[in-house]
Amino acid sequence: MAFFYDEPSRTFSEYLLVPNYSSADCLPQNVSLVTPVCRYKRNEEPKLKMNIPLASAIMQSVSGDRLATALAREGGISYIYASQTIEQQAAMVKKVKNFKAGFVVSDSSVRPDQTLDDIVRLKEKTGHSTVAVTHDGSPTGKLLGIVTSRDYRISRMDRSLKVKEFMTPLKDLIYAYEGISLKEANNIIWDHKLNALPIIDSQGNMAAFVFRKDYETHKENPFELLDSQKRFVVGAGINTRDYVERVPALVEAGADILCIDSSDGFTEWQKRTLDFIRKNYGDSVKVGAGNIVDRDGFRFLADAGADFIKVGIGGGSICITREAKGIGRGQATAVTEVARARDEYIEETGSYVPICSDGGIVMDYHITLALAMGCDFCMLGRYFAGFDESPTNKVMVNGNYMKEYWGEGSMRARNWQRYDMGGADKLSFEEGVDAYVPYAGSLHDNVAVTLSKIRSTMCNCGALSIPELREKAKLTLVSPVSIVEGGAHDVILKDKSAFTE
């Protein structure tokens, strides 16, 4: 006879938080969102923390190097997607690790024999108005000059004009050499009223730019997540097929933490992968595992040595695992049960293993609910896919800007390794869809609003930290009628466009 759970599995949308007593100290600016990422012993500090409880999903349409840099600047961690070649993934990790805060490696470079038309096209593609002119057009070629918007006027110049005819040559530039500190570079920028300062190496090769605008950006991001060498922290996904080759390459590239990307973590394949990492690297390489949805799955991966464990099957917006296979569980119920198992585990073993809620987040307040229910941080896909920094195209659909978004289980991604059960090297059927999400603008602006909501809600609960929220939160189930009551109702909404035109 099959086992039947007594209670139905619940989603985040079926719960609300009930306010608790808030003292005068309960102000959003006093709230700490610092959270552990990897396992640690009781009364010890975890080796890796995040400053905000947000991680980006291991997906082609979400976590590229550009988004990883942007999220680390806010205090979170991106996991560079594994459904690409080992060399490509390692290169992305290196790109994030080589991005010094304030020192920007140019991805907009041209040769002197290229044309104004090439400059215009490059600006349309990247949005960058400052372009390095190098002898071979590469980001690290010998610097010959730069082109800014002040060097040309499209309306008055022939688009076939060679770059060397209108660029600002090196002899007329103020530049600095590699090894200069960011403070020294910014002083040069301010003293000479520059918008950009080229940084070159001892052979005259282009190394980076320091931009005036980034000085303010750096000051605006006090929660940047940096390693001991002041490089951005970045994660990377791995699978259970080629981990023998992929793990060493990612470790060498500088990945701070790895995570097994799989729809089902309660398998021998994941234990084999974890065993390989522990045998060859001990505890020096941090690795998350998953996904699981119950106490047994958590215990299996915790005992196998996972540093954190992802919770959630079938709850992603582009995931159709439940529809295709009938496998999964409501995310709220899954997080709650696994959090209890995590708390039991630390009492029994003295080791705290963080859990990550992966999927099921539709509204910003669902993140706060997940934290209140016991997770340490949330992994998000759809949320990040709509931002400028995600690696997908921005397209116009029915008069609205959208961004492409597809699941790793879709035929477009062809990430059969994520759903691998030791069979053929292919997807037998789809467990994800190819879709669009509304274009949302910059990651920085949107994350700032989301974190503001989380901090404000925590204050309503009388909590100034995530562990305190977990202790003080009071949750109530809501009926379908009360969900309707919670939104605007029984009114005729005004057309917002009438006030913005």
Catalytic residue IDs: 319, 418
**DSSP labels, 60-95:** TTT--HHHHHHHHHHT-EEEE-SSS-HHHHHHHHHH
What CA–CA distances, in Å, run from 1 to 4, 7, 72? Answer: 9, 18, 49
DSSP 441: B
CA distance linking residue 365 with residue 427, whole number of Å: 35
Per the listing, tokens 């229910």 go with 373
Pairwise CA distance, residues 74 & 67, whole Å: 11
Q: Closest Cα to residue 375, out of 472, 466, 499, 274?
A: 466
CB 32 within 8 A of CB 223: no
Backbone phi, psi, residue 494, to 5°: -75, 150
**379 DSSP β-pair partners:** 55, 358
* Residue in 331, 299, 294, 302 with CA at minimum distance from that of residue 315: 331
3-state secondary structure 339-382: HHHHHHHHHHHCEECCEEEECCCCCHHHHHHHHHHCCCEEEECH
Question: Beta strand 40-41 with 35-36: parallel, antiparallel or unpaired?
Answer: unpaired
3-state SS assignment for residue 478? coil
* Backbone angles phi and psi of 450, in degrees to 5: -60, -45
Closest CA to 173 of 218, 212, 132, 229: 132
**321: its two tokens:** 């695992």
Q: How far is it, in rounded angstroms, from Cα 215 to Cα 196?
A: 11
Task: Give the closest residue to 410 by CA, choosing from 113, 61, 78, 8.
Answer: 61
